Amino acid sequence: MICRKCGREVPEGPFCLQCGASQAEEKKKATKRGNGQGHVWKRGKTWYAQVTLYTRTEQRPDGSLRLVQKRRTRGGFATKRDALAALEALRGPQARVCPALLHYWENYERNELPKLSKDRQTGMRKARERLDSLMGRRPDALTILDLQSCVDENASTYYTAKDMKTLLSHLWKPAMADQFVSVDLPGFLSLPELEEKEGEPFTEAEVRALWGAWSGGVELSGHILLMIYSGMMPGELLRCRVDQIDLEACEIRGCGLKTAKRKEVPIVFPDSLKPLVEALIAAADGPKLLHINRDNFYTRYYEALEAAGVRRLPPYSCRHTTGTEAARANLAAPIVQNIMRHARITTTQRYVHLGSQDAHDGINRLNTGKR
């Protein structure tokens, strides 16, 4: 027996005693082609070649999704070599087929959605549910009528429709970048009229009534007064910890919500409110300033208003009261903006509610030059 490697004569056995090489017959490794290169097979005496041109998701009439593949096949080849040589011709110029919106949603959900706040993620996911009837369709096959009908049927309010429009825009941009569509159809969508109720502040008499309720033992009225004098939001009050309150500086740091501005800028309260804040800290049962959940907070909030004989205004009226009273105190607009922790002065203006009496009070303070 001759060694397969060194060529020396060796006795029968699995290995060469001279060089140690295995004498077992080597199996020929099967060659593999990459994805999308196609494949060949033999049926009877002839060989066949097949390539997959594209794979996409389509929507059935009942709304369910199905996977559709477009293949090209040719047979009748005498040898495997001939079938392999035919694969390239079968592929031809690479066909580019626009994928369904579902493909772009999956990319958006994986790459962009995690960068948003939890509230915005929830909003986009709900918008995705409302757009379900369009998810299996390709952007290049959709019309503005298709988009508008879906929005009109699934959204009755301005903000719901706006979220749907925003999500469609996010899905449309990569389709435009891929040059499957050239017109930004979501940009032409019409939204319902914005019927936004204007916030209403508490009156001076109502604030005095809340002070009376606090003196009378209505505990939550103290937290309501803290929101009124600081512009603190309900969610910020519920997450505020005692160790975040600096009584000396009259500041609360670390419980800001939603925007970067509100998270970075401390909540400030007037020096005159220190005794009330000290009392709230002393009454706190644990690390949080107020140990109740959101549902119980709203129940107890309206109970406190009723006990004080105050109108049933929502908690955000506290914040509207802050902005209104700051403006009445003739504070400069940038200072009011900083108290409210707004990134834009236009947002602050929505929290200031001045009436005709304020206009009279202001005009009467003008110096007209009369001697």
Using the predicted structure, report yes or no on whether residue 178 has a pLDDT greater than 70: yes
pLDDT of residue 26: 61
pLDDT of residue 27: 58
Q: Picking from 8-12, 28-32, 125-129, 141-145, which range would have the lowest pLDDT averaged per residue?
A: 28-32
Q: pLDDT of 242-297, one tens digit each?
A: 999 999 999 999 999 888 888 898 999 999 999 999 999 999 988 999 988 888 89
Q: Which amino acid is at 103?
A: H
Query: Do 101-186 and 204-355 fold alike per CATH?
Result: no
Residue ranges of alpha helices (H) inside the chain are: 80-91, 101-111, 118-130, 132-135, 144-154, 158-177, 204-215, 219-230, 234-239, 260-264, 274-283, 294-308, 316-328, 333-340, 345-349, 356-363
pLDDT of residue 35: 58
Using the predicted structure, report yes or no on whether residue 118 has a pLDDT greater than 90: no
pLDDT of residue 245: 94
pLDDT of residue 156: 85
Averaged over 201-210, what is the pLDDT? 94
> d(Cα 109, Cα 330) in Å, to the nearest integer?
47
Tokens representing 145?
């009528």
pLDDT of residue 89: 81
Q: Are 8 and 18 in contact (CB under 8 A)?
A: yes
Q: How far is CA 247 from CA 35, 244, 279, 322, 353, in A?
A: 66, 10, 12, 20, 30
> d(Cα 223, Cα 288) in Å, to the nearest integer?
12
Q: pLDDT of 303-316, one tens digit each?
A: 999 999 999 999 99
- Percentage of the chain modeled with pLDDT above 90: 49
Q: Which residues pair with 73 in a beta bridge?
A: 50
The band of 364, judged by pLDDT with boundaries at 50, 70 and 90, is low
Among the listed residues 124, 192, 187, the one whose alpha carbon sits nearest the alpha carbon of residue 161: 192
pLDDT of residue 371: 45
> d(Cα 166, Cα 174) in Å, to the nearest integer?
14
Q: Which fold has domain 101-186?
A: DNA polymerase; domain 1 (1.10.150)
> d(Cα 266, Cα 252) in Å, to the nearest integer?
6
The band of 34, judged by pLDDT with boundaries at 50, 70 and 90, is low
Averaged over 34-45, what is the pLDDT? 80
pTM, full prediction: 0.53
Mean pLDDT across the chain? 85
Among the listed residues 129, 134, 133, 135, the one whose alpha carbon sits nearest the alpha carbon of residue 107: 135
How far is CA 228 from its chain centroid? 30
Q: pLDDT of 92-109, one tens digit each?
A: 665 577 889 999 999 999
pLDDT of residue 363: 46
pLDDT of residue 273: 93
Phi then psi for residue 310, to 5 deg, are -110, 150
pLDDT of residue 147: 95
pLDDT of residue 355: 65
pLDDT of residue 33: 55
Top mean-pLDDT range of 13-22, 58-67, 351-360? 13-22
**Is 204-355 a domain of CATH 1.10.443.10?**
yes
Q: Which residues pair with 43 in a beta bridge?
A: 46
- Cα atoms in the 13 Å half-sphere on the side-chain side of 351: 28
Q: Which amino acid is at 349?
A: Q
Among the listed residues 224, 234, 230, 226, the one whose alpha carbon sits nearest the alpha carbon of residue 310: 224
Q: Are 251 and 266 in contact (CB under 8 A)?
A: yes
**Residue 298 buriedness (CB in 10 A; 0-12 / 13-18 / 19+):** middle
Domain ranges (residues) in the chain: 39-91, 101-186, 204-355
Q: Are 87 and 51 in contact (CB under 8 A)?
A: yes
Q: Picking from 102-106, 181-185, 325-329, 358-362, which range would have the lowest pLDDT averaged per residue?
A: 358-362
